[in-house]
Amino acid sequence: MQFMLLFSRQGKLRLQKWYVPLSDKEKKKITRELVQTVLARKPKMCSFLEWRDLKIVYKRYASLYFCCAIEDQDNELITLEIIHRYVELLDKYFGSVCELDIIFNFEKAYFILDEFLLGGEVQETSKKNVLKAIEQADLLQEVDAKSTHKTNDGRYKFSCT
Amino acid sequence: MSDIVEKTLTALPGLFLQNQSVGGPAGVKASFSSRLGGLVRGITALTSKHEEEKLIQQELSNLKATVSAPATTLKMMKECMVRLIYCEMLGYDASFGYIHAIKLAQQGNLLEKRVGYLAVSLFLHENHELLLLLVNTVVKDLQSTNLVEVCMALTIVSQIFPREMIPAVLPLIEDKLQHSKEIIRRKAVLALYKFHLIAPNQVQHIHIKFRKALCDRDVGVMAASLHIYFRMIKENPSGYKDLTGSFVTILKQVVGGKLPVDFNYHSVPAPWLQIQLLRILGLLGKDDQRTSELMYDVLDESLRRAELNHNVTYGLKALTYVIQQDPTLALQHQMTIIECLDHPDPIIKRETLELLYRITNAQNITVIVQKMLEYLHQSKEEYIIVNLVGKIAELAEKYAPDNAWFIQTMNAVFSVGGDVMHPDIPNNFMRLLAEGFDDETEDQQLRLYAVQSYLTLLDVENVFYPQKFLQVMSWVLGEYYYLLDKDTPEEVLTKLYKLLMNASVSSETKAWLIAAVTKLTSQAHSSNIVERLIQEFTISLDTCMRQHAFELKHLRENVELMKSLLPVDKSCEDMVVDASLSFLDGFVAEELSQGAAPYKPHHQRQEEKLSQEKVLNFEPYGLSFSSSGFTGRQSPAGISLGSDISGNSAETGLKETNGLKLEGIKKLWGKEGYLPKKEGKTGDETEAPPVPQESIIMETVDQTLIKKDQCQVLTQSKEEKEKQLLASSLFVGLGSESTVNLLGKADTVSHKFRRKSKIKETKSGETTSAHNRTCFHFSSSSNATYEDDYYLDTLQDRGDKELNKLSLNSGLLDSESLTELPSVEKLSSCKLSSSPSLFTDNSMEGFQPSQSTALSVANETSLAASLLEETSEHMHSDLVEVCHNETISLSSFKIWKDDCLFMVWSVSNKSGLELESADLEIAPAENFKITEQPGCRLPIIEAESIKTFQYSVQVEKPFTEGNLSGFINYQMMDTHSVQLEFSVNLSLLDFIRPLKISTENFGKLWLSFANDVKQNIKVSESQAALPSALKTLQQKLRLHVVEIIGNEGLLACQLLPSIPCLLHFRVHGDVLALWFRSSCSTLPDCLLYQCQKVMEGS
C-alpha cells in the first residue's frame, strides 16, 4: 500500500499515513486531488478507481471516507477488506466509534493503524492480537482511562453505505 | 449540538482523567491538555479558510515559543506534539517541531516516547537528515527490557529508518527473531522486510533465519515472513522452489480452517494470508509445470471455498482478461456490458470501453468508436484522453469502413487529443496518407478527402485547433492540395497566411505552415500572398522563420530549382542529395590556394578548444533550427523511405477526383459532429443511422445470433429493444462463424487502412499482392510448407558444424560436432602444459586432481566428455581466459541453460604448491541476480589442478551491454594472500531463449502486445535471401522460427525468465523489414540493436 487517507465529507483530512517517501508538496497535491475526486463520486458508484498509475480503493463510513492507494498488481477487493478491518478495530477500541473519536484521539487511531499495518503491509490480521498490543501499551500509561475504553458494545456507528 | 459536545467530552477520557488525577500543578497543564480540543473546536467554529489560517498561524507561533522554552516539561511537550501533528495534517508547516519530536522519543517516559515516535514517523521521511539523530534512541530502546519500548523501536524501524544506519541495528533486530514474545518476533520480521526493500544486500546473510520465521508457531510471525518471501521469490523464483511444499501446506491449513478463530474475517479464514500465499504460489508455479502440479489440489480447494464477489468493475476486468483469450465469450454477457456502458460511474464506463476495444472488428468499429468518442468528450483527465485517443486512432487505422469516416474520426482524435497525444499518432497518420495502400485510386480519394475536410475546418471562424492538428493540416495541404485541381492555390495560401499571422500558433507549427506555403508556391509562383508573407517574415524576429522566408524568396527566383526541389507527390521518394557537397570542390580549392585555413570537423575543433582552456569562446552558439521539413520533400514525420514506391501519375488521381461527391462536408462540425455517415460510394445507403445499418451487416454475418435476439425482442420493451440493437451492433462479428484470427482477422474482411509494408511486392504478382496486404495470413498454404522444407534442406545441405553446434533444435545436434571443442584444446596446449589435470567425470559439481601427466590424453577426452554431459543439452560458449598470473589462470565460459545463464569459472593452479582459502567472488551488479551454486566452495586447490566455481545469472530487465566483475583471492603456503580481478561481458543474447509457440499463439500474443519497434535494415547481398537471414536470426539471436510464409517469417523468443518477444520479418531485395513486439517496453529496442549488430557483423 502506498498511503492511506481518512477525510470527512467536507473534505477535511482526518488521518494520513504515507508508506512511500514523498515531499510535502506532492502529498498535499495528491491529497487535494484525491479528496476532490472521491467526494465527487456518487454513492452507487464502485469503490475502486484508477488514478495516475495507482489504484484507489475507498469506502465511506458515515461521514468519514477511508481511502487507500495501492499498486497495479495489488488486489482491490482485499484492500477494501483492510479498510473494513481497520474500522472494526477502531470500533472495538473506541466502542462504537464516530468521526469525533478520531478527530480528538487521532494519535490513538494512528497507534491502532501502526499495529495493523506496518510499512504498508498487513502486520497482524487477528483482531484480538492487534487490540492486545494496543492495550498493553495503554495499560502502562493510562491505568485510569482504560475502563472507559472497555465499554464496547460491538455496535457499529459507522454503517456501511 | 449538545450531543456532539457530550461525545467530545467522552472522547477525551485520557486527557481529562489524567489531569484531574494529577492535581496541584495540573492547573497549568490542564490548559495545555485541553488545547487540542480547544483548537479543534475553534477551527470547526470558523467559517472561512482565511480565519482558519490566522488561527493556526497564531497556534503555531504559540507552539514554537512553548517547545523552545527551557521550562517546558516533557509532558507539555507531548501535548504540543499532538497539536503540531494536527496542524501539519491541516496543511501547515510545523517543521520547527521535528527536532523536538526526536527529543521527545529520546527523553520521554513511555507515554511521551510513544507520541514522540509517532510524531517522528508522521513528520519525517526516510531520507530526512534529522532521522540520523534518532538512531541512538532506537538502539537504546531495542536493548530495553521493557517490551513496549522494544515494540516502539521496532515499529519505527519498520516505517522509516536511514539506509546507511542499518548495520547499527541489524544484529539487535536479528536477535529479536528468537525473542520469546511473538509480537516482538513479528515486528522484527517486518523490520527486516523493510531492510530487504531498501537495502537487500544487507540482509542477505539472514535468509536462513527467515525460514525459521516461516515455520514459526505463531501465525502472525509466519504471515509477516510471507511479505519477505513474496519479494524474494519475485526476484528469483527458481531459488525458492523447494519451499513450494511448505507454502502449499500452510495454505491447506488456512483453507481448512486450522487457524485460531480470531484470524477469521467474516467467517472467511484469514483472507489476507490466503491472498498472499496464492500470489507466492503464482510466482513459483509460473512457467514451471512440475512445481505447479504440487499446487493444483490446494488451489482447487481454495477456489471452491472462496465466495464469488460481485463488484461490477471487477467482473468487467476479469471479462476483459478472458476475452483476450477468446472473444466469443463476450457474447454471453453482452447485455451486462451494455448496462455497464450507460453506467453513471465513469470508472465502470471506462472499463467497459477497454473491453469493447478488445472485441472491435471491422463490423462494429463505427459503433464502438462512437461510444469511445462520446466518453472522450466528457473526460477532462489527461491520462484518460491520451490513452483513449491512442486506442481510437489504432482502431480507426485498422478497421475504418471508408475514407470519410476515417478522416472524420482522425479529426476528432486530433482536436480532442491535441497536444497531449502520443506523437506516433499524427506521424502514423501522415505516413499512412503518404505511403497509401495498394489501390492508387483509393489513396487519392483519401488524400483528397483529407484536403477538403481541412479546408472546411479552417473556414470556421474563431475555432482553435491544437498545434499538432495544425501541423498535420499544413503537411497534408502542402502535399496534396494539387488534388483539388484548382488553377491557383490562392485560397489555401490565404488560410495558411492567416494562421501564420495568428499569435496563438506556436513557432514549431509556423515552420510547418511555411513549409506548406513553400510547397504550394512551387505550383503557383505568382501570388500576392506569398509576396506579402516574404516581406513580413524576412524581417521577423524569429530567426527560424526568417531563414525559411529567405529560402522561399530565393527559391522563387529560380523556378526550375524550386520545381526540382519540391516535386509534386513525391513524399515517399528518396531525394538524391550530394552529401559530400562535391559541387563546392572548385570553390574550396580556390580558397585553399589563396591561403584559407583548411576545414576542421567539429570534434577536432572541440578538442583543440579544450586543449587551450581559459580561452574565450568565440564560436557562436548553435542556432536551433526547427528540423521540420523544409529542406526536403520528405514528410516531417521522418519516414524512412522505400524507394520502390513509384510516384503515381497525378492524372489518374485527378480523374478520380472529378467524380467525387463534395456535398455534406460543410456539416462536418455541425451538431452531428463527426458522426459516422456513410458517404455512400454506391449511393444507396444515404444517411442511414449507424445502428440499424450495422445490424444489417450483422444479419449476414451471424444469422443464429439475430434469430435468438429476435425471439427475445418480441417480448421486450422498446428500451430493451434499443439495447438489444446496440448489443447486436457491438458484438457483431464475434460469432462462431468469424472466429477471430487475431492477427489478420478473418481474411474476408477488407482492411482498408492497414498500412502497406514499406517494401512492396514486385509488381509482377499484382493479383496476389491483394492477399499479401494483410501481411500476416496464417493459412498454412502449401507454399509456406514448401518454403519451410526448402529452408531445412539448405540447412542440411550445408552441414555446417558450427551451425549444428549452435542450433537450438537439439534434434539437429550430432555428437560429432560436440566432441570437437577447440577451446579446450587451446587451453591445454598453451596454458596447461604442465598441468594436465582436467575435470573428472562428475561433471561440474566437484573435481579431483589428476595424478600424473601420463593420464593427460585420457583426461582431456574425459573433460570433453564430462563437459558434454553437462552441456550437451545446452549451448555453451568457448572457454576464455579472463585473468592470470604466474600461479593461476582463470578462465570462464557460459552455458546457456533453459532457465538461466550459467557461468562457470575454472581456476587452474599452475604452480606446484597447494593454494589455500581460494575464494572467488562476483561483485553484485545492478540488473543482474547472481546466485552461487552450492557445492563449489573448496578452500584448497591442490597443486597443478583445476577447480571450478559456478554461478547462475539472471537478469532483471532488458539491457544492451552488461558486465560482471569480481575477484579471486587465494593464499599460498606461508605467504600473504593474492587477489586477482577480472571481468566478463554479458550480452542481452545470453538471456534470450527461443520461445516455441504455435502460429496461432503467435497471433494471439502479437495482438496483445503494445510495445513495438519497426526498422528496415540493409543487408549484404549474400544475406538477402530468406534462408540465410533466417539462419542468422536463429543462430545468433536464438529465435525460434514459428512459421515462414513466402518472404515473411515469424519468430519468437523470450528474455529469461519469461518476457516474450515476437518478431515479424520480411525480406525484399537487400532490405530486411523487422517488426518486434513485446509485452516489455524496452525489450524490442534492445533486441533490434542486437539484431542490427549480428546482421552487420555477419
More reliable by pLDDT, A144 or B492: B492
pLDDT tens digits, B441-468: 888 888 888 888 888 888 887 778 888 8
Q: Provide, rounded to the nearest whole percent, the portion of chain B with pLDDT above 70.
A: 67
Is the predicted pLDDT of residue A81 greater than 80, yes or no? yes
Judge residue B289's burial from the number of C-beta atoms within 10 Å of its C-beta, 0-12 exposed, 13-18 middle, 19 or more buried: exposed
Query: Are B1093 and B1012 within one domain?
Result: yes
B974 and B934 in a common domain? yes
The answer on B980 and B880 residing in a single domain is yes
C-alpha cell at A17: 499515513
The whole-angstrom separation of Cα B825 and Cα B840 is 16
Could you state, in order of their start, the residue ranges of all structural domains in chain A?
3-147
How much is the mean pLDDT over chain B? 71
Task: Name which of B487-491, B622-626, B679-683, B865-869 the model is least confident about.
Answer: B679-683
What pLDDT is stored for residue B915 in this prediction?
Answer: 77
B425 pLDDT more than 70: yes
Calculate how close chain B gets to A134, using CA atoms only, in Å.
10
Is B821's pLDDT higher than 50? no
Position with higher pLDDT, B478 vs B940: B478
Residue whose grid cell is 498454412: B780
Closest-CA residue of A relative to B33 is A104
Stronger pLDDT, B807 or A39, i.e. the higher one: A39
Look-up: residue for cell 496534396? Answer: B480
Neighbours of A88 (CB within 10 A): 19
- Please state the separation of Cα A92 from the chain's center in Å: 14
Q: What is the CATH number of the domain that holds B885?
A: 2.60.40.1230
* Nearest residue in chain A measured CA to CA from B123: A24
Taking contacts as CB-CB distances below 8 angstroms, the residues of chain B near A94 are 11
| Residue B998: C-alpha distances to residues B321, B995, B1031 (Å) | 21, 10, 19
Residue of B nearest to A79 (CA): B272
Confidence of residue A140 (pLDDT cuts 50, 70, 90): low
Confidence of residue A160 (pLDDT cuts 50, 70, 90): very low
Higher pLDDT, B104 or B485: B104
B898, B971: one domain: yes
The residue of chain B nearest to residue A20, with distances taken between CA atoms, is B125
Please report the residues numbered 181 through 210 in chain B whose beta carbons come closer than 8 angstroms to any beta carbon of chain A. Answer: 183, 186-187, 190, 193-194, 197
Cis peptide before B1057 (omega within 30 of 0): yes
Contact B89 A15 (CB under 8 A): yes
Question: Chain A partners of B121 at a C-beta cutoff of 8 Å?
Answer: 114
Helix (H) or strand (E) holding B398: helix B382-399
pLDDT of residue A134: 85
Band of pLDDT at residue B708, cut at 50, 70 and 90: very low
**Is residue B517 within 8 Å of B534, Cβ to Cβ?**
no
Q: What is the pLDDT of residues B273-314, one digit of tens each?
A: 888 888 888 888 777 777 777 777 777 776 666 554 444 455
Query: If contacts are CB pairs under 8 Å, which of residues 380-399 in chain B contact chain A?
Result: 383
Q: What does the pLDDT read at residue A158? A: 47
Is residue B130 a contact partner of residue B124, using CB atoms and an 8 Å limit? yes
Smallest Cβ–Cβ distance between A52 and the set B263, B345, B383 belongs to: B383
| B1069 and B1091, same domain (yes or no) | yes
Is A37 near chain B, with CB under 8 Å? no
Alpha carbon dihedral B222, B228, B234, B237, in 10-degree steps, equals: -60
Residues of A in contact with B265 (CB under 8 A): 81, 85, 125
Q: Quick one: pLDDT at residue B20?
A: 38
B89 belongs to a structural domain:
no
At which residue does the C-alpha cell 530468406 appear? B1026
**Residue numbers of B between 982 and 1001 with CB closer than 8 Å to A:** none
Q: Which residues contact B560 (CB under 8 A, 6 or more apart)?
A: none
Question: Which one of B988, B1023, B1048 terminates a domain?
Answer: B988
Instruction: Give exposure, B224-234, as e/b (b: 16+ Cβ within 10 Å).
Output: bbbbbbbebbe
Q: d(Cα B667, Cα B672) in Å, to the nearest integer?
A: 8
The pLDDT assigned to B101 comes to: 92
CA dist., res. B698 & res. B730, Å (int): 10
Read off the CATH number of the domain in which B1033 is found: 3.30.310.10
Residues 77-116 of A with CB under 8 A from B: 77-78, 81-82, 85, 94, 98, 100-101, 103-107, 110-111, 114
Stretch B18-33: mean pLDDT: 39
Q: Residues B1015-1058: pLDDT tens digits?
A: 887 777 666 677 777 887 787 778 888 888 877 888 888 888 88
Half-sphere exposure of B890 (CA within 13 A, CB side): 26
pLDDT at A17: 93
Q: Please give the ipTM for the structure prediction.
A: 0.85
Q: Which of B988, B1011, B1044 is the last residue of a domain?
A: B988
pLDDT at position B3? 46
pLDDT above 90 for A16: yes
Give the per-residue pLDDT at B804. 39
C-alpha to C-alpha distance for A44 and A42, rounded to whole angstroms: 6
pLDDT at B620: 55
Chosen for mutation from A6, A8, A85, A129 (greatest number of chain B CBs closer than 10 Å) is A129
pLDDT at A6: 94
The interface residues of chain B toward chain A in range 301-330, judged by CB-CB distance below 8 A, are 309, 311-314
Is the pLDDT at B667 greater than 60? The verdict is no
Tens of pLDDT, residue by residue over B91-130, are: 888 889 899 999 999 988 888 899 999 999 999 888 888 8
Interface residue A43 vs chain B (CB under 8 A): no
By residue range, what is the domain housing residue B913?
873-988
| B379–A contact, CB cutoff 8 A | no
Judge whether B660 lies within some domain. Answer: no
Q: Is B18 in Cβ contact with A145 (below 8 Å)?
A: yes
- Nearest-by-Cβ selection for A46 from B4, B82, B345: B345
pLDDT at B26 over 80: no
- What are the pLDDT digits (tens) for B353-405? 887 888 788 888 888 888 888 888 887 777 778 888 888 888 888 888 888 88
B978/B1009 same-domain check: no
Confidence of residue B155 (pLDDT cuts 50, 70, 90): very high
What pLDDT sits at residue B331?
A: 63
Reply yes or no on whether the pLDDT at B527 is more than 90: no
In the structure grid, which three cell numbers stand for residue B433, read together? 496518407
Residues of A in contact with B90 (CB under 8 A): 12-13
- Residues B1024-1037 as b or e (16 or more Cβ within 10 Å = b): bebbbbbbbbbbbb
The packing angle between helices A106-116 and A76-94, to 10°, is 130
B962, B1006: one domain: no
pLDDT reported for residue B419: 77
Do residues B887 and B984 share a domain? yes
- Give the model's pLDDT for residue B575: 65
Interface residue A149 vs chain B (CB under 8 A)? yes
Q: Do B973 and B1018 belong together in one domain?
A: no
Q: Spell out which residues of chain A touch residue B85, defining contact as CB-CB under 8 Å.
A: 106-107
For an interface test with B, the pick among A123, A130, A156 (most B C-beta atoms closer than 10 Å) comes out as A123
pLDDT value of residue B252: 86
Task: Report d(CA B536, CA B542) in Å as an integer.
Answer: 11
Task: For the full predicted model, state whether its pTM sits above 0.90.
Answer: no
- Which stretches of A8-153 are DSSP H helices? 24-39, 76-94, 99-104, 106-116, 127-141, 146-150
Q: Give the least confident one: A119-128, B279-288, B691-700.
A: B691-700
Count of domains observed in chain B? 2
β-bridge mates for residue A67, sequence order: A5, A58
Specify whether B970 is located in the same domain as B1011: no
Clarify whether residues B983 and B1032 are in a common domain.
no
Q: Residues of A with CB below 8 A from B159's CB?
A: 19, 114, 118-119
Does residue B1023 lie within any of the structural domains? yes
Q: Which of B146-160, B190-204, B917-931, B1049-1063 is predicted least confidently?
A: B917-931
Classified as helix, coil or strand, B997 is coil
Closest by CA position to B702, among listed B670, B660, B742, B734: B734
Beta strand extents in B196-274 (DSSP E only): 264-265, 268-269
pLDDT per position as a tens digit, B849-897: 334 333 344 444 444 444 445 545 677 777 888 888 878 888 888 888 8
CB burial of B326-350 (b: ≥16 within 10 Å; e: otherwise) equals ebeebbebbebbbebbebebbbbbb
Q: Which three cell numbers stand for residue B724?
A: 438489444
Instruction: Tell me the per-residue pLDDT of A39-73, one tens digit each, with 9 for 90 and over.
Output: 988 877 788 888 888 899 999 998 899 999 999 88
* End-to-end alpha carbon distance in chain A: 24
**B731-740 pLDDT tens trace:** 666 654 433 3
B487: β partners: none
Residue B232 lies in a domain: no
Which band of pLDDT confidence, cut at 50, 70 and 90, is reported for residue B971? confident
- B1014 with B1003: CB under 8 angstroms? no
Average pLDDT over residues B904-912: 81
pLDDT band with cut points at 50, 70 and 90 for residue A156 = very low
CB contact B126 to A (< 8 Å): yes
Q: Which of B350, B160, B294, B282 is nearest to A75 (CA)?
A: B282
For the sheet containing A64-70, what is the strand order? A13-18, A3-8, A64-70, A54-61, A48-51
A92 interaction partners in chain B (CB closer than 8 Å): none
Written as nine digits, the cell of B333 is 454477457
B909 and B960 belong to one structural domain: yes
Q: Residues near B366 by Cβ (< 8 Å), separated by ≥ 6?
A: B401, B405, B676, B690, B694
Task: Report d(CA B576, CA B588) in Å as an integer.
Answer: 22
Q: Decide if B665 is inside a domain.
A: no
Q: Is A110 helix (H, G, I), strand (E, B) or coil?
A: helix
- What is the separation of C-alpha B199 from the centre of its chain, rounded to a whole number of angstroms? 25
Query: According to the model, what pLDDT value does residue B321 have?
Result: 57
| DSSP 8-state code for residue B598 | P
Of the three residues B945, B971, B988, the one that is the final residue of a domain is B988
Distance CA B328, CA B465 (A): 40
Determine the residue of chain A that is closest to B224 in CA distance: A123
Could you read off the pLDDT of B47-95 as tens digits, one per residue? 788 888 888 898 899 899 888 888 888 888 888 999 999 998 888 888 8
Q: Using the beta-carbon criterion (under 8 Å), do B314 and A75 form an inter-chain contact?
A: no
Q: Does position B936 have pLDDT exceeding 70, yes or no? A: no
Q: Pick one of 3.30.1490.100, 3.40.190.10, 3.30.450.60, 3.40.50.300 as the CATH number of A3-147.
A: 3.30.450.60
In the predicted structure, residue B697 carries a pLDDT above the cut 50: no
Strands (E), B108-262: none
Which among B110, B275, B311 has the least Cβ separation from residue A46? B311
d(CA B720, CA B734): 21
Q: pLDDT tens across B835-860, in order?
A: 333 333 333 333 343 343 333 444 44
